[in-house]
Amino acid sequence: MSMLHTINKSPFDRDSLGSCLRVIADDGAILFIEDGVYAAMKGTRVADTVAAAASNHSVYVLGTDLSARGMSSDNIIDGISAVSYTHLTLPTKESRWWGGGGGGGWGGGGG
C-alpha cells in the first residue's frame, strides 16, 4: 500500500526529511508543504538527498507555500512537481488515509 508522507518542517530546523526517508516504502510519495518547501530548492545542503529521493519516489511541493515564501517553482529540484490545492488530491489518490469515523478510505473520499 502506498502512503503520502507530508513534510512541513524546514530541513534546516528539524530532521523531518531524514525521518521520512528512513521509513518510506518503495511505493511511497513525498509532499513538501509549509516550511518543508525549503527542502525542494536547488543548491541547498539537502538538495542531493532530495534529488535522490525524487529519483525513487513521486515528490511534490505545494506551489502556494513556495510563493508565500518568495520562492518560484523555477528553482525546485528536477523531478519534483509543484502542485496546487486543486491538484493536491492527485498525489493523495495514490495514498491511504484514515478518517475520523474509524474506517479507512482512499484519498479523495472513497471507502
Instruction: Indicate the pTM of the whole model.
Output: 0.78
**Mean per-residue pLDDT, 58-70:** 95
For residue 22, give the C-alpha cell.
Answer: 528512513
Read off the pLDDT of residues 73-111 as tens digits, 9 standing for 90 and up: 999 999 999 998 777 665 455 554 333 333 333 333 333
Q: Is residue 45 over pLDDT 50?
A: yes
For residue 5, give the C-alpha cell.
Answer: 508522507
**Mean per-residue pLDDT, 27-48:** 95
Q: Is residue 20 over pLDDT 80?
A: yes
Three-state SS annotation for 33-76:
CHHHHHHHECCCCCHHHHHHHHHHCEEEEEHHHHHHCCCCHHHE
pLDDT of residue 79: 95
Q: Is residue 27 over pLDDT 60?
A: yes
